[in-house]
């Protein structure tokens, strides 16, 4: 078994890969049309769940009213967060959407997938106010790793592990029982690799992350793979066992 705790589908067909590798995962929907597409695509697929939420990049495009019926249907809220590096969406608007989403997720005890870029310190004060289960996706900041760890957050290791010192530090500092794998989807892999990555290569990168984590932690790859899979199962249970 392999898992991919955070990814986007973007029209890619990964069903062959999922079947071949007994994949489990959480795929992200950030607007109603993407959610409808994912539901249709996944209707015969076991093991892939959907997370839904208003992405910080879309805080000024997607309304709460159109997303709330979807958030009520799924089991995970995300990715949501704050980003002052990769988008120029008004920060006040981002904060309002983020806080409303955190408040909703905590009220129904639905685990949250976080996207944080440049706002890692400020986001901590929000997370402290809303007690819940959190997964920080592709964390790439050298600071505050221990602050998030002390709050019990899970982390997914981005595919840049081995090449990005901040991601390496997450792999080093966070114990395996709070670490999971993510691809962030083929578009993100292509961005990371600076070339077009095909569906057939999808699991190569998840396995490469396992190799890198094993190297950083000085552990056997099989131990890393088994433990990360177990962590993913524990994270799924957080929905049922708040
Ligand atoms: Zn993502």
Higher pLDDT, 46 or 128: 128
Tens digit of each residue's pLDDT (9 = 90 or more) over 48-58: 999 999 999 99
Distance 68 CA to ligand 1 centre (A): 19
Tens digit of each residue's pLDDT (9 = 90 or more) over 133-165: 999 999 999 999 999 999 999 999 999 999 999
Tens digit of each residue's pLDDT (9 = 90 or more) over 78-136: 999 999 999 999 999 999 999 999 999 999 999 999 999 999 999 999 999 999 999 99
Distance 222 CA to ligand 1 centre (A): 26
Instruction: Say how many domains are in the chain.
Output: 1
Distance 183 CA to ligand 1 centre (A): 9
Q: Which domain holds residue 170?
A: 2-240
pTM score of the predicted model: 0.96
pLDDT at residue number 89: 96
**Comparing C-alpha atoms, which of 114, 214, 212 is closest to residue 161?**
212
Largest CA distance in the chain: 48
Distance 53 CA to ligand 1 centre (A): 11
CB-based neighbours (< 5 A) of ligand 1, an ion: 184
Domain CATH code at residue 234: 3.20.20.140
Tell me: pLDDT of 67 over 90. yes
Tell me: pLDDT of 241 over 80. no
Distance 6 CA to ligand 1 centre (A): 6
pLDDT band for position 11 (50/70/90)? Answer: confident
pLDDT band for position 242 (50/70/90)? Answer: very low
């Amino acid at each position: 078994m392999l898992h991919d705790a955070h990814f986007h589908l973007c029209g890619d067909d990964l069903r062959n890969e999922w079947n071949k590798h007994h994949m489990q995962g959480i795929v992200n929907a950030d607007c109603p049309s993407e959610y409808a597409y994912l539901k249709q695509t996944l209707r015969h697929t076991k093991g892939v769940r959907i997370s839904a939420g208003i992405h910080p990049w879309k805080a000024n495009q997607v309304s709460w009213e159109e997303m709330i019926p979807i958030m009520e249907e799924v089991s995970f809220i995300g990715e949501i967060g704050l980003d002052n590096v990769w988008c120029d969406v008004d920060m006040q608007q981002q904060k309002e959407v983020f806080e409303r989403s955190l408040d909703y997720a905590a009220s129904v005890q639905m685990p949250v997938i976080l996207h944080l870029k440049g706002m890692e310190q400020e986001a901590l004060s929000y997370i402290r106010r809303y007690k819940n289960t959190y997964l920080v996706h592709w964390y790439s900041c050298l600071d505050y790793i221990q602050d998030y760890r002390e709050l019990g957050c899970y982390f997914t290791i981005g595919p840049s592990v081995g090449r990005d010192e901040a991601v390496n530090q997450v792999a080093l500092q966070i114990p395996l029982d709070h670490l999971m794998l993510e691809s962030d989807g083929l578009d993100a892999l292509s961005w990371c690799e600076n070339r077009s990555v095909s569906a057939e290569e999808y699991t190569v990168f998840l396995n490469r992350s396992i190799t890198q984590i094993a190297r950083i932690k000085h552990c056997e790859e099989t131990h890393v793979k088994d433990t990360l899979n177990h962590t993913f199962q524990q994270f799924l249970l957080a929905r049922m066992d708040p």
